[in-house]
Amino acid sequence: MYVTPGPNNAMVLTSGIKFGFSKTIPHMSGITIGHVLQVILVCLGLGKLFQLFPEIQNVLRIMCALYLLYLGFKIIGSFSKIKEDSSRPLKFYEAALFQLVNPKAWTISTMVASGFLPKDEKLVISIFFISITALIICPISIS
């Protein structure tokens, strides 16, 4: 899901073409840190909810799978064009805050929480490993 086209990938591609790799690094770093924080917060919130109501985790898995199928059908055969021409690369904090309104980032965070969080007491350890994984995969997928 990280490497599929989305708002972050399109914006980083545009920024890299217009401003070069080195001026796009703050943008990429902001996306990565913003998304990792989002994953941690979603996992903490949903993790506690899953411990109280385990059946919600299965419902959320099904909902996420259906949403992915919906996105897949929307993507097939359609190629979006970047419409906005930005005059400067995004700053670190702008890219980090963008994750709050990025539907793909929310989908990934929710999928990770519903798919990989344990139902036992090892929630913090699991969130740590999920966060490290996101910290490694996210910059690779957008660079």
pTM: 0.74
Residues 88, 24 contacting (CB under 8 angstroms): no
Query: Is the residue at 50 inside a domain?
Result: yes
How do residues 34-77 score in pLDDT, each as one tens digit? 999 999 988 888 888 887 888 888 887 888 778 777 766 766 65
Two structure tokens written together for 37? 């924080």
Region 14-22: what's the mean pLDDT?
A: 91
Nearest to 26 by CA among 97, 101, 128: 97
pLDDT of residue 58: 83
* Most confident among 3-7, 64-68, 81-85, 102-106 (mean pLDDT): 102-106
Instruction: Report whether pLDDT(107) > 80.
Output: yes
Top-confidence residue, 29 or 1: 29
Query: Is the residue at 2 inside a domain?
Result: no
Query: Is the residue at 1 inside a domain?
Result: no
Residue 16 domain boundaries: 7-77+89-142
Q: Which residues contact 123 (CB under 8 A, 6 or more apart)?
A: 43, 44, 47, 48, 51, 117
For the CA atoms of 43, 46, 48, 51, the dihedral, rounded to the nearest 10 degrees, stands at -110
Query: Is the residue at 31 inside a domain?
Result: yes
List C-alpha distances in Å: 45 to 6, 25, 49, 136. Answer: 25, 30, 6, 23
Query: Is the residue at 83 inside a domain?
Result: no
Query: Is the residue at 82 inside a domain?
Result: no
How do residues 116-143 score in pLDDT, each as one tens digit? 888 776 888 888 999 999 999 999 988 7
Query: Is the residue at 114 inside a domain?
Result: yes
- Number of domains the chain is built from: 1
